[in-house]
Protein backbone atom coordinates (compact mmCIF):
# COMPACT_ATOMS: atom_id res chain seq x y z
CA UNK A 1 0.00 0.00 0.00
CA UNK A 2 1.27 3.48 -0.87
CA UNK A 3 1.90 5.91 1.95
CA UNK A 4 0.42 9.38 1.65
CA UNK A 5 2.48 12.41 2.66
CA UNK A 6 0.05 15.15 3.74
CA UNK A 7 2.73 17.76 3.05
CA UNK A 8 2.52 16.94 -0.66
CA UNK A 9 -0.81 15.60 -1.87
CA UNK A 10 -0.11 16.29 -5.56
CA UNK A 11 -1.69 13.54 -7.68
CA UNK A 12 -4.17 12.42 -5.04
CA UNK A 13 -7.93 12.57 -4.72
CA UNK A 14 -9.60 14.41 -1.88
CA UNK A 15 -12.94 12.74 -1.30
CA UNK A 16 -15.51 14.77 0.63
CA UNK A 17 -16.80 12.92 3.66
CA UNK A 18 -20.59 12.46 3.67
CA UNK A 19 -21.01 15.08 6.42
CA UNK A 20 -19.20 17.86 4.55
CA UNK A 21 -21.74 20.67 4.43
CA UNK A 22 -19.94 23.23 2.25
CA UNK A 23 -22.12 23.34 -0.91
CA UNK A 24 -19.01 23.94 -3.06
CA UNK A 25 -17.57 20.59 -2.03
CA UNK A 26 -20.37 18.31 -0.77
CA UNK A 27 -20.01 14.84 -2.35
CA UNK A 28 -17.04 15.89 -4.48
CA UNK A 29 -13.82 14.31 -5.63
CA UNK A 30 -11.01 16.86 -5.99
CA UNK A 31 -7.87 16.00 -7.92
CA UNK A 32 -4.96 17.77 -6.24
CA UNK A 33 -2.86 19.11 -9.12
CA UNK A 34 -0.25 20.91 -7.00
CA UNK A 35 0.46 21.00 -3.26
CA UNK A 36 3.40 22.59 -1.48
CA UNK A 37 4.18 24.72 1.56
CA UNK A 38 2.59 27.60 -0.39
CA UNK A 39 -0.87 25.97 -0.50
CA UNK A 40 -2.80 23.62 -2.75
CA UNK A 41 -4.55 23.76 -6.12
CA UNK A 42 -7.09 21.21 -7.29
CA UNK A 43 -10.00 20.51 -9.60
CA UNK A 44 -13.35 18.95 -8.77
CA UNK A 45 -13.73 16.07 -11.25
CA UNK A 46 -17.23 14.85 -10.51
CA UNK A 47 -19.57 17.80 -10.87
CA UNK A 48 -21.03 18.84 -14.22
CA UNK A 49 -21.49 22.56 -14.75
CA UNK A 50 -22.91 22.52 -18.28
CA UNK A 51 -23.97 19.60 -20.42
CA UNK A 52 -22.65 21.35 -23.53
CA UNK A 53 -19.54 23.36 -24.39
CA UNK A 54 -21.20 24.83 -27.51
CA UNK A 55 -22.69 27.93 -25.77
CA UNK A 56 -19.21 28.76 -24.40
CA UNK A 57 -17.29 28.19 -27.63
CA UNK A 58 -17.66 31.79 -28.83
CA UNK A 59 -16.28 33.03 -25.48
CA UNK A 60 -13.06 31.21 -26.34
CA UNK A 61 -13.04 32.53 -29.96
CA UNK A 62 -13.78 29.05 -31.30
CA UNK A 63 -15.69 29.42 -34.53
CA UNK A 64 -16.63 25.80 -35.17
CA UNK A 65 -17.42 23.07 -32.68
CA UNK A 66 -17.86 19.63 -34.24
CA UNK A 67 -18.37 17.67 -31.04
CA UNK A 68 -20.55 18.44 -28.06
CA UNK A 69 -18.83 17.92 -24.75
CA UNK A 70 -19.71 18.63 -21.11
CA UNK A 71 -18.07 21.31 -18.98
CA UNK A 72 -17.16 20.53 -15.38
CA UNK A 73 -17.24 22.69 -12.25
CA UNK A 74 -13.64 22.74 -11.03
CA UNK A 75 -14.25 24.72 -7.87
CA UNK A 76 -15.40 28.11 -6.58
CA UNK A 77 -12.21 30.08 -7.30
CA UNK A 78 -11.99 32.06 -10.57
CA UNK A 79 -15.00 30.41 -12.25
CA UNK A 80 -14.18 32.23 -15.50
CA UNK A 81 -10.79 30.46 -15.77
CA UNK A 82 -10.79 27.42 -18.03
CA UNK A 83 -8.61 24.32 -17.73
CA UNK A 84 -8.28 21.13 -19.72
CA UNK A 85 -7.26 18.01 -17.86
CA UNK A 86 -6.19 15.31 -20.31
CA UNK A 87 -4.45 11.99 -20.71
CA UNK A 88 -0.95 12.58 -21.96
CA UNK A 89 -0.02 12.60 -25.58
CA UNK A 90 0.71 15.85 -27.30
CA UNK A 91 2.11 18.59 -25.07
CA UNK A 92 0.43 21.98 -25.05
CA UNK A 93 2.08 25.08 -23.63
CA UNK A 94 1.64 26.10 -20.86
CA UNK A 95 0.90 22.90 -19.00
CA UNK A 96 1.83 20.99 -15.87
CA UNK A 97 2.32 17.26 -15.77
CA UNK A 98 0.49 15.87 -12.74
CA UNK A 99 1.93 12.41 -13.43
CA UNK A 100 3.20 10.50 -16.46
CA UNK A 101 -0.26 10.04 -17.94
CA UNK A 102 -2.11 13.16 -16.76
CA UNK A 103 -1.58 16.76 -17.84
CA UNK A 104 -3.30 20.05 -17.04
CA UNK A 105 -3.23 23.00 -19.41
CA UNK A 106 -4.78 26.41 -19.95
CA UNK A 107 -3.70 26.47 -23.61
CA UNK A 108 -6.49 27.61 -25.92
CA UNK A 109 -4.97 25.45 -28.68
CA UNK A 110 -6.11 22.26 -26.91
CA UNK A 111 -9.71 23.53 -26.90
CA UNK A 112 -9.51 24.22 -30.62
CA UNK A 113 -8.11 20.74 -31.25
CA UNK A 114 -10.80 19.13 -29.09
CA UNK A 115 -13.66 20.96 -30.80
CA UNK A 116 -12.29 19.93 -34.19
CA UNK A 117 -12.11 16.29 -33.08
CA UNK A 118 -8.31 16.06 -33.11
CA UNK A 119 -7.47 16.70 -29.46
CA UNK A 120 -6.47 14.27 -26.72
CA UNK A 121 -8.45 11.03 -26.56
CA UNK A 122 -9.50 11.54 -22.93
CA UNK A 123 -10.07 14.96 -21.38
CA UNK A 124 -12.21 17.11 -19.10
CA UNK A 125 -12.95 20.78 -19.74
CA UNK A 126 -13.18 22.51 -16.37
CA UNK A 127 -14.11 26.02 -15.22
CA UNK A 128 -12.84 27.31 -11.88
CA UNK A 129 -10.63 25.61 -9.34
CA UNK A 130 -10.30 24.74 -5.67
CA UNK A 131 -7.54 26.49 -3.78
CA UNK A 132 -6.16 26.32 -0.26
CA UNK A 133 -3.88 28.80 1.52
CA UNK A 134 -0.72 27.50 3.25
CA UNK A 135 -1.74 25.07 6.01
CA UNK A 136 -5.48 25.27 5.21
CA UNK A 137 -5.77 21.87 3.52
CA UNK A 138 -3.75 20.19 6.27
CA UNK A 139 -6.13 21.73 8.84
CA UNK A 140 -9.18 20.45 6.93
CA UNK A 141 -7.64 16.98 6.88
CA UNK A 142 -7.14 17.11 10.65
CA UNK A 143 -10.82 18.10 10.98
CA UNK A 144 -11.83 14.95 9.08
CA UNK A 145 -13.40 16.84 6.18
CA UNK A 146 -11.70 14.74 3.51
CA UNK A 147 -10.57 11.22 2.74
CA UNK A 148 -7.38 10.91 0.69
CA UNK A 149 -6.81 8.35 -2.07
CA UNK A 150 -4.29 7.96 -4.86
CA UNK A 151 -5.61 9.45 -8.11
CA UNK A 152 -6.78 7.13 -10.86
CA UNK A 153 -7.25 8.25 -14.47
CA UNK A 154 -9.94 5.61 -14.94
CA UNK A 155 -12.13 7.39 -12.37
CA UNK A 156 -11.46 10.80 -13.93
CA UNK A 157 -12.18 9.78 -17.52
CA UNK A 158 -14.08 6.48 -17.63
CA UNK A 159 -16.36 6.18 -14.60
CA UNK A 160 -19.74 7.92 -15.04
CA UNK A 161 -19.71 11.31 -13.30
CA UNK A 162 -22.42 10.37 -10.78
CA UNK A 163 -20.41 7.31 -9.65
CA UNK A 164 -16.99 8.97 -9.20
CA UNK A 165 -17.47 9.92 -5.53
CA UNK A 166 -18.16 6.35 -4.42
CA UNK A 167 -15.62 4.87 -6.87
CA UNK A 168 -12.84 7.13 -5.53
CA UNK A 169 -13.65 6.11 -1.94
CA UNK A 170 -13.65 2.45 -2.98
CA UNK A 171 -9.99 2.88 -4.04
CA UNK A 172 -9.15 2.97 -0.33
CA UNK A 173 -11.76 0.41 0.72
CA UNK A 174 -14.32 2.92 2.02
CA UNK A 175 -18.07 2.49 1.52
CA UNK A 176 -19.40 6.04 1.91
CA UNK A 177 -22.86 4.73 2.86
CA UNK A 178 -21.30 3.29 6.01
CA UNK A 179 -19.21 6.30 7.08
CA UNK A 180 -20.19 8.09 10.26
CA UNK A 181 -18.85 11.65 10.35
CA UNK A 182 -17.44 13.38 13.41
CA UNK A 183 -16.85 16.70 11.68
CA UNK A 184 -16.68 17.37 7.99
CA UNK A 185 -17.97 20.90 8.21
CA UNK A 186 -15.34 22.83 6.20
The pLDDT value given to residue 99:
92
pLDDT tens, residue by residue, 98-129 = 999 999 999 988 888 888 888 899 999 999 99
* C-beta of residue 16 within 8 angstroms of C-beta of residue 28: yes
**Cα distance between residue 37 and residue 154, in whole Å:** 29
For the cut 60, the answer to whether the pLDDT of residue 147 exceeds it is yes
Quick check: helix, strand or coil at residue 112?
Answer: helix
Residue 41 has pLDDT above 90, yes or no: yes
Q: Evaluate if residue 137 carries a pLDDT over 60.
A: yes
Mean pLDDT in the chain? Answer: 88
CATH 3.30.460.80 fits 12-178, yes or no: no
Given a cut of 80, whether residue 179 has pLDDT beyond it is no
The DSSP secondary-structure symbol of 163 reads G
Q: How does 45-82 read in b/e, with b if 16+ C-beta sit within 10 Å?
A: bbbebeeebeebbeeeebeebeeebebbbbbeeeeeeb
Checking if the pLDDT of 21 tops 80, the result is: yes
Q: Give me the percent of the chain exceeding a pLDDT of 70.
A: 85
Q: What is the average per-residue pLDDT within 68-76?
A: 91
More confident residue, 55 or 113: 113
Section 59-66 average pLDDT:
60
Amino acid sequence: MNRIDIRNLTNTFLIAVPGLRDPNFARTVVLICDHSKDGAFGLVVNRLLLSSFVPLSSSFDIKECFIDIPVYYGGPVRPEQGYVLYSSGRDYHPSIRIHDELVLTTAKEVLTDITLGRGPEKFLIVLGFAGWAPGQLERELMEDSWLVAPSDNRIIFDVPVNERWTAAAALIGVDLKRVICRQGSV
